[in-house]
Structure 1
């Protein structure tokens, strides 16, 4: 007897092919039969007439590294059809650490990844074991974070690495890959990653490529110098033979929109050259990150503790304000977007909860100060545990990128406070607004961008497609009603139209409600698993 049969659905297999009317039989967590199964007995039959049946969505950019262990908080991911997430993003995550760097990263990441108390791990292997013992609503995979590796070798020093330091960092990357990571990540606007040179990135990427890992990167610049930043990343991939994946591809600021098409063409040229390159993107014209990302690079030398100490110096504040107004060489969000488009998403203290959802012009007026000083004060009061939402572009750019064959859907969702609506709405928004309403791309192709394409990027051997023998990560939704409801004003509204979600053959979502079943698992580097067995 089968555990579950899904009958009469419109099956989209994840390849981009049009749907086929097929039944799906599931047993022991896997898809065991596909065909006409009307005579097959099952413990549970799901009647999917008129519904789309798709592989579970794979979110290639998340910040669920800690809160994935809290199903009551994390359940929003399965409620929008996400069955697998890629952790360890932007080069700033929770492992590897040691007893000296752990408290630094706990403080630095509190605003981004949340707080679950003590971290009972140091190595990537220990962290993945911790996740394996936790209750996970969905599956997770992990990237070796560049910044965590760098701090083990160099601390938060704002300088180039020596050849010997690069060698040690590469060894740590390779160790993380052997322990199960699926690739390497960096965020070249975040400390300490931003202090690295191209040669350091090439050396570390060689370590990831040795174990067939990918390189997932927030580029050094997404505004005035985006084309140069993209050239740098393509050359890193060329010289290291790593698969390159650009995080949350966008072009910041109206004055730079002309670079959008040129950037896409550069990626096409890289593919033609033989470099495997892809990018992910969220379907919104605003981004979200930590508030201290507004500050110029020189402020990050030494880490968060030193940053907060510097902010108490009036002369340093004056220098930062001058950079906001006159420095075009770094990712200057203030110059590109303006104070009125920077909104505080979350703080850690109750006393400042009133600023959540307000932009920096409004907060400055509330406090009787300048927007820059409001930033400085909030960072000090919250020990840097503040996130923001920034409006950066136009929807036309989103639609142009969505249609590109290299595009993959990634939410970049951040929990806490009044978050960016992408946390609750990314995948249903693609299906509702951009597929059904705007007809930007066919439903079959949109599903490929959410399933088969990320599975190819991560070299997943048995997920991302509806195929016999594959794990039963499946989402069933109504293509006529599916949509997001979360907005910037009300970002915690759940999507509609996602009817059923299976994770490893277990119903995580039944009739649009979270069941409480936590069948998620840790997905480790397949090459390493083969070697271990």
Structure 2
């Protein structure tokens, strides 16, 4: 009885406090970075009904008052190249994203984990189950192709291409931001420039994007950029280049300036092209990329048969040693050799002891050619995709790209279904836990590449403007209250190659749509995230 009376009294007190309050939250005395690149100002920020309602001196009270003195208050970070489409169905917590200060995800090259016709239901499921962050997605051109003609090589007929366009139209009408591609991988690599232009024209009807993991990010990166720009110009769409890099060790310091000049020239003549990147010198992808693309020309099943055939392997090894060839980007060559490719996850007990070691070391220990070792590991791990880290980029090239005002940030990583473990693709890469804090910790604090204001702009207002998220990315009255509070002195990405799932420090609070999702560095369990649907404004 006494306990019931106590709880009733507490409830009445809370109700009275809420009734007397003017706002849901008031963040007091922080150093407010508005996200537009302006210097910080000391101000209060008031939040009500999911939006920022006042910035400056806020005389009214909040149901919750947050002391931000000595802390920075910024818009929540936007992940421009996310891989969480499937992970969020399993667990909407996205704890690794929240701990980085991320409040919005844009699903990238793979598209949603459902066909185009299933996207309305997929979005509804996410909304019903609840997600901790905002989420929007592209639709993959590869999904359209496989839906219509399977995973083998070959040019589509006119009717097949029209059927693919119908899939793109369905996706755009459901709220996709555009079409994406991953032209470096089969079967996406079997799509021609003309195929992509045709599908881009469909996305253009809804003012959509063409977003791409380009056909080549290594020796042929400039030609690949030119192809992406051509698709954008002929298709009438905006172009987003995923994880921009010059991933070719023999030409570090040469290819990136050429790549940037190509993009800047296109922008100067009116092409709406930009890019995102992750701030690391190694990419992460499957071991299957070590096999030339012709191996997969008749589909995955036939490709696996070829990889098992010792005679076919002899040809494959000769081509791996020879370097890249038309239609195939040789990432071993791009990395400078097998000694710069590190096994990340083999998905098998047999090869678990080799995790973290290079393919050169593994081959030597097994008395095998490193390529044979890689293919054996890939086959043993099936049906999972064995993955590796390819150290292909130079830090100076990363810095040069990061300085471009049109470059935003994308993690190329999924929300963790099991926090502290690799994401949905099983790749232990520090970008999944450290990308956004690293932009500030490494490139603002440890070396003078960016100002704090510019670093925040790249992660907030610029990507919001780029994606047409008109009410996000800024701390101004009327904007959605996606907000991050951080301590600049203690901010650090922490995650490393040896400890890729370590959590960052210094991200103290994350607010999503006006609801506290991370408090004192700990998730609250709130699911205030929204599904973001790109409006299909017919042109």
Structure 2 residue aligned with 1:228, among 217, 223, 228? 223
After superposition, residues 32-111 of structure 1 pair within 5 angstroms as 32-37=53-58, 39-71=59-91, 74-87=94-107, 89-91=108-110, 93-96=112-115
Query: Can you list the C-alpha shifts for 1:31-72, whole angstroms capped at 9, x where unaligned?
Result: 1222211x3111211111121111110001121122224558
Cα contact 1:145–1:184 (8 A) shared by 2: yes
Report the structure number with the largest CA radius of gyration.
Answer: 2
Q: Is 1:4 paired with 2:25? A: yes
Q: Is 1:172 paired with 2:167? A: yes
After TM superposition, give the deviation of residue 256 of structure 1 in Å: 2.3
TM-score w.r.t. length of structure 1: 0.91
Q: What is the match of residue 524 of structure 2? A: 515
Structure 1 runs not aligned, ≥5 long: 98-121
Q: Is 1:487 paired with 2:506? A: no
Q: Aligned residue pairs: how many? A: 504
TM-score w.r.t. length of structure 2: 0.90
Q: What is the match of residue 297 of structure 1? A: 293
Query: Can you list the C-alpha shifts for 1:237-280, whole angstroms capped at 9, x where unaligned?
Result: 11111100101111112222212101101111101111111100
Q: What is the match of residue 276 of structure 1? A: 272
Q: What is the match of residue 248 of structure 1? A: 243
C-alpha distance in 1 between matches for 2:347 and 2:112: 19
Q: What is the match of residue 307 of structure 1? A: 303
User: Could you say what secondary structure the match of 2:211 adopts?
Assistant: strand
Cα contact 2:197–2:235 (8 A) shared by 1: yes
Q: Is 1:155 paired with 2:147? A: no
After TM superposition, give the deviation of residue 162 of structure 1 in Å: 2.3
C-alpha distance in 2 between matches for 1:220 and 1:187: 7
After TM superposition, give the deviation of residue 306 of structure 1 in Å: 2.4
Q: What is the match of residue 403 of structure 2? A: 403
C-alpha distance in 1 between matches for 2:110 and 2:431: 21
Query: Can you list the C-alpha shifts for 1:384-406, whole angstroms capped at 9, x where unaligned?
Result: 52111111121111111111111
C-alpha distance in 2 between matches for 1:73 and 1:352: 31
Q: Is 1:322 paired with 2:318? A: yes
After TM superposition, give the deviation of residue 522 of structure 1 in Å: 0.9
Q: Is 1:473 paired with 2:485? A: no
Cα contact 1:310–1:316 (8 A) shared by 2: yes
After TM superposition, give the deviation of residue 163 of structure 1 in Å: 2.4
C-alpha distance in 1 between matches for 2:91 and 2:150: 34
Structure 1 residue aligned with 2:38, among 17, 21, 29? 17
Q: What is the match of residue 453 of structure 1? A: 462
User: Could you say what secondary structure the match of 1:215 adopts?
Assistant: strand
Cα contact 2:92–2:132 (8 A) shared by 1: no
C-alpha distance in 1 between matches for 2:127 and 2:70: 37
C-alpha distance in 2 between matches for 1:360 and 1:4: 53
C-alpha distance in 2 between matches for 1:435 and 1:303: 46
Q: What is the match of residue 109 of structure 1? A: none
After superposition, residues 121-132 of structure 1 pair within 5 angstroms as 123-132=118-127
User: Could you say what secondary structure the match of 1:526 adopts?
Assistant: coil
- Which stretch has the larger CA shift, 74-83 or 160-169? 160-169
After superposition, residues 379-390 of structure 1 pair within 5 angstroms as 379-383=378-382, 384-390=384-390
Structure 2 runs not aligned, ≥5 long: 1-20, 415-421
Cα contact 1:357–1:418 (8 A) shared by 2: no
Q: What is the match of residue 331 of structure 2? A: 333
After TM superposition, give the deviation of residue 157 of structure 1 in Å: 2.0
